[in-house]
Amino acid sequence: MNAVAVNNIVKTYGSKKETVKALSDISFTVNKGELFGIIGPDGAGKTSLFRILTTLLLADSGTASVDEFDVLKEYKQIRNRVGYMPGKFSLYQDMTVEENLEFFASIFNTSIEANYDLVKDIYVQIEPFKNRRAGKLSGGMKQKLALCCALIHKPSVLFLDEPTTGVDAVSRKEFWEMLKELKKQGITILVSTPYMDEAAMCDRVALMQAGKIMSIDTPGNIISKFNKHLWAVRSEEMYRLLKDLKNYSNTESCNSFGEYHHLVLKNDDRDKEAVLKYLQVQKHMNIEMKPEQPNIEDCFMQLMNNNYDRS
């Protein structure tokens, strides 16, 4: 039994003159109790997909179900049992932490006390500020409160739309720890994020780009599918280096990645000396070049380039 099943969903926006295809023929399933990540840049279609699954939007074609309930016909049952945290945290800024939580509990016909154990681990972190208005909380605390509000009715499936966007690195890490704890309680969790490094925290991820899913697998499998040798290169002039590497005749792809540029050579060439020689001709100083383990972002870039070549 699947917690979420999506079959051939298509969604377009806009008028007849100008249409934007937000989702083109998306299909996937999420197992019960899985922590499933949907990873992709802004505009990939993540929010549209979440809104269709939470019954807020209607797809143009295709079917989808949550907990075996159809998003079109049985939307009321779905609304009873899912938790949803939209991209912009939806809290009442003029109400205190406690009042917000109490309110969201009551609209699901439950109370804070009834499901306190579910949110306890998260709520204790913001409980010292329970009489503070939500508008005066820091970004990380707002996010925790929003998560508590989405959890307070013990949902069977939890939809988190970019929960870590705009939150500092420490809070992000904490947040993922919290999600892992929630997973232990048997809640199926769908998270979308533009941060590639967060993919490693998920059981399985779907890499999305321009309304299409490029790959669905465990993070480990996705990385192992990266079949080429990857080099990390740096020198004193990083920007010129990127340009020069992209112009190099034997370069397949080169992307800036923190303090190194990640380079893949054509036909999986391993000829380090030739590259170094080329860079020396270009008068680069202090050149460093070493083999590198690929990460999800490298895989994403490769998939994206492959898709681009094919289309």
Partner 1 sequence: MKQFFIFVKKEFRHIFRDRKSLLIIILMPIVQIILFGFALTNEIKNSNIAVLDNAKDGSSRAIIQRLDASRYFNVSQILNTQADIETAFKSGKIRLAVVFQPGFRESLLHTNHAQVQLIADASDPNTATTVTNYAANIISDYQKELNGQVQVPYAIKPEIRMLYNPQLKGAYNFVPGVMAMILILIAAMMTSVAIVREKEINTMEVLLVSPLKPLLFILSKAIPYIFLSLVNVVTILLVSVTLLEVPINGSLLLLMGESLLFIITAVSLGLMISTLTKTQQEAQMFSLMALLLPTLLLGGFMFPIESMPLPLRIISNVVPSKWFFLIVKDVMIKGLGFSAVWKESLILAGMSLFLLAISFKKFKTRLA
Choice from 10, 56, 274, 276 touching partner 1 (CB under 8 A): 56
Choice from 82, 145, 189, 222 touching partner 1 (CB under 8 A): 82
Q: How far is 146 from 100, CA to CA, in rounded Å?
A: 9
73: contact with partner 1 by CB under 8 A: no
51: contact with partner 1 by CB under 8 A: yes
Rg (CA), the chain: 23
Distance in Å, CB of 124 to partner 1, minimum: 23
Choice from 58, 114, 185, 225 touching partner 1 (CB under 8 A): 58
The backbone region for 47, taken as left when phi is positive above 0, alpha when psi lies in -120 to 50, beta otherwise, is alpha
Q: Of the two residues 157 and 214, which places its CB atom closer to partner 1 in the complex? A: 157
Tell me the β-bridge partners of 189. Answer: 35, 158
Q: Of the two residues 99 and 269, which places its CB atom closer to partner 1 in the complex? A: 99
Give Cα separations from 137 to 22, 141, 206, 241 (angstroms).
34, 6, 32, 43
262: contact with partner 1 by CB under 8 A: no
- Chain positions 2 to 41 lying near partner 1, rule: CB under 8 A, are none
Choice from 30, 91, 245, 254 touching partner 1 (CB under 8 A): 91
84: contact with partner 1 by CB under 8 A: yes
Sign of the Cα pseudo-torsion (251, 254, 259, 260, in order): negative
Tokens representing 201 are: 């925290």
Tokens representing 176 are: 């993922």
304: contact with partner 1 by CB under 8 A: no
